[in-house]
Structure 1
């Protein structure tokens, strides 16, 4: 198979837009030659995730109620990063906002598309080291609970299904591999 676009866009219409996303509906000819529609969500920022790790391999998880899921979620510190700034700038801001932590060492460990069948959202995940505690500055829309746990406990929360957030799962699994490979 060739790595070319088999879709033909006949017409596109913007359905909705706000400060974070834009929703477009495309009238298409699908790869089999039939007519169809395709909804596309365009994100206006990077998705940024940060796994803070201290020298004893403790990390900090953020707990919050996630409106779309109608459920509480334990996650690594996460948020949006402006396309106008280097992604690590957004990571530094999110870590401080959600945890109060400031890091001196930053290592990008993963880039991933979060839901590539309907969106173009790109996630960039970092490990933050060299941590010092400051004061958290959560946004007004965030009611956060901060929990310090050993990395092994956070990893176990992925294995037992307590942590289901995709960036958190990816960050914790990738970090476990880096630890096992002696790269961290």
Structure 2
């Protein structure tokens, strides 16, 4: 597919703000028809989200979820574990770190499902989606100032919460779509046993 009739070309870029998390820019661009426009956006280092699967002796699955207050929207949200990449960190290493820190779980097997771009209109952020299974529970290692509840639910519970509006977080809604298709057998995952050397 040829997209030249849609592409915008950067003419100049100005840094507007640099904080602990947000790095905002204002660019001047040439539009496909030759006119000029302004694009304000945020550069983001990227993040990961993990769909942790707990399987019982009968082969039934539950998923590990979190409840966390999100200040910008002023409410407690139901989410899958997730977190921002540290400088130089691989997405797999980040996924393992965030799962352990936030939930206390470690996983034997991992699968990268895909990637999502949660806010394409004003951010470069991407979120790599990982599934984890073969979980074992240890102590959490929450960051200072981080407060969240960890709980498990059935996939049916999660889908109901998505339907009735209890779950509105975009990444968790996307993960629910992946989960539904994986559990139905419609989509497959490239599962791999992960050792410590695999994530260095």
The answer to whether the Cα contact below 8 Å between 1:110 and 1:171 also exists between their aligned partners in 2 is no
TM-score norm. by structure 1 comes to 0.90
Gaps of 5+ in 1: none
Q: Tell me whether 1:49 sits opposite 2:49 in the alignment.
A: yes
SS of 2:85's partner is strand
Please report how far the alpha carbon of residue 83 of structure 1 lies from its aligned counterpart in structure 2 after TM superposition.
Answer: 5.2
Please report how far the alpha carbon of residue 33 of structure 1 lies from its aligned counterpart in structure 2 after TM superposition.
Answer: 3.3
SS of 2:96's partner is helix
SS of 2:124's partner is coil
Candidates 118, 122, 133, aligned match of 2:137: 133
**Matches for 1:164-179 after TM superposition, within 5 Å:** 164-179=168-183
Please report how far the alpha carbon of residue 26 of structure 1 lies from its aligned counterpart in structure 2 after TM superposition.
Answer: 1.1
Distance in 1 between residues matched to 2:22 and 2:33, nearest whole Å: 30
SS of 1:174's partner is helix
SS of 1:136's partner is coil
The answer to whether the Cα contact below 8 Å between 2:47 and 2:91 also exists between their aligned partners in 1 is no
**Matches for 1:152-171 after TM superposition, within 5 Å:** 152-171=156-175
Partner of residue 149, structure 1: 153
Candidates 65, 68, 75, aligned match of 2:69: 65
Candidates 55, 58, 80, aligned match of 2:84: 80
Distance in 1 between residues matched to 2:144 and 2:72, nearest whole Å: 18
Distance in 2 between residues matched to 1:49 and 1:15, nearest whole Å: 28
Evaluate the alpha carbon distance shift between residue 31 and residue 141 of structure 1 in structure 2; reply closer, same or farther with a 3 A threshold: farther
TM-score norm. by structure 2 comes to 0.84
Candidates 88, 91, 98, aligned match of 1:94: 98
Q: Which has the higher strand share?
A: 1
Q: Deviations over 1:98-148 (max 9, x none)?
A: 111111110111211111111111110111100011111111232101122
SS of 1:164's partner is coil
Distance in 2 between residues matched to 1:70 and 1:118, nearest whole Å: 21
